Amino acid sequence: MSMYSGLVRVMEKAARKAGGRLRRDFGEVEHLQVSRKGPSDFVSKADQAAERILWDELKVARPGWGFVLEEGGIIEGEPDKPRWIIDPLDGTSNFLHGIPHFAISIAVQEPKLDGSGWGEVTAGVIYQPITDETYWAEKTRGAWLQDKRLRVSGRRHLSEALVATGMPYQGHGNFAEWAEIYGKLGPNIAGVRRFGAASLDLAWVAAGRFDGFWESDLAPWDTAAGCLLVREAGGFVSDYRGRSLQICDKQVIAGNPSLHPRMHKLIAEALKA
């Protein structure tokens, strides 16, 4: 705990409070009232309750900051102050099916000095309530799992790499594009995993559990904290064109310094086909 800055401590406290609520609801998942947002895209009362807890905690801790919320949308704050980017329950489908793999993701994004929009992501927390793991990063301070410093894996060959992804599903994603990319990457890598929570996939790249990750059609709240974690752990994050955006969400490639360029080359070749 002593390593946490005041900001990370605020984020971790809020995540733990919301995570406690999610753990309780997860224990009674069969009783949750669920409403449909769209094809195969569900939102539960647990999701909404967790977001409200995060909103309440963070608004009090940092008055005047804005919010980008998965459920609540964009809430403008004071123009010279940062904003929170929040996913209260990444892995909703896992949660609703009783699969214990989901997380809370919180990131801090700074306004550009010239007032022209939003700039750097400077802090991020990804909290996994079931395992009670807090992944966190601050710009220039590295990436951490609790008090353990994280580094991306040291594997240098795709033939040894375990790579995570997200797959298109009913009403979401481009099946043809995903198939083209997998057709290029699949024969060259040791294995592929699809666990259903992009924030944790990126945290696990930072922790060296996964060697790489790719996915399309995500949202800023899915990846903002995870992109910072990977970079602060010594890895690279880009879109499919190789651009290192502050928040890569529509297209994401993440990996260590040896494997990221190899993944990018294969994905670029796949999309030209």
> CATH 3.40.190.80 residue ranges in the chain?
158-272
- The per-residue pLDDT for 28 is 82
Residue pLDDT, tens place only, 141-194: 999 999 999 999 999 999 999 999 999 888 888 999 999 999 999 999 999 999
Calculate the average pLDDT of the chain: 93
Longest dimension (CA), the chain: 52
> CATH 3.30.540.10 residue ranges in the chain?
6-149
Residue pLDDT, tens place only, 4-32: 899 999 999 999 999 999 999 898 876 66
> Is 125:15 a contact under the CB 8 Å cutoff?
yes
Task: Return the structure tokens found at 133.
Answer: 């793991």
Instruction: Please list the helix, strand and coil fractions of the chain in percent, rounded to the nearest 5, in that order.
Output: 35, 30, 35
Q: Per-residue pLDDT averaged across 61-83, rounded?
A: 95
Confidence of residue 71 (pLDDT cuts 50, 70, 90): confident
Q: How far is Cα of residue 175 from the mean position of the Cα atoms in its chain?
A: 22
What order do you get walking across the sheet with 66-69 strand by strand? 73-75, 66-69, 83-90, 103-111, 118-128, 133-138, 142-145, 148-149
- The per-residue pLDDT for 4 is 87
H or E, element range at 80: none
SS3 23: helix
Cα–Cα distance, 15 to 222 (Å, whole number): 15
* pLDDT over 80 at 245, yes or no: yes
pTM for this prediction: 0.94
Class of domain 6-149: alpha beta
Look at residues 120, 118, 146, 152 and name the one whose alpha carbon lies nearest to residue 229.
152
- How many degrees, rounded to 5, is the angle at CA 92 between CA 15 and CA 90? 45
Residue 34: Cβ within 10 Å count: 13
Task: Return the structure tokens found at 179.
Answer: 């198939």
What CATH architecture is 158-272? 3-Layer(aba) Sandwich (3.40)
- The per-residue pLDDT for 54 is 98
- The per-residue pLDDT for 184 is 97
Q: Which residues contact 265 (CB under 8 A, 6 or more apart)?
A: none
Please state which of the ranges 26-30, 66-70, 97-101 shows the lowest mean pLDDT: 26-30
- The per-residue pLDDT for 85 is 98
Cα–Cα distance, 248 to 168 (Å, whole number): 18
* pLDDT over 60 at 1, yes or no: no
- pLDDT over 70 percentage in the chain: 94
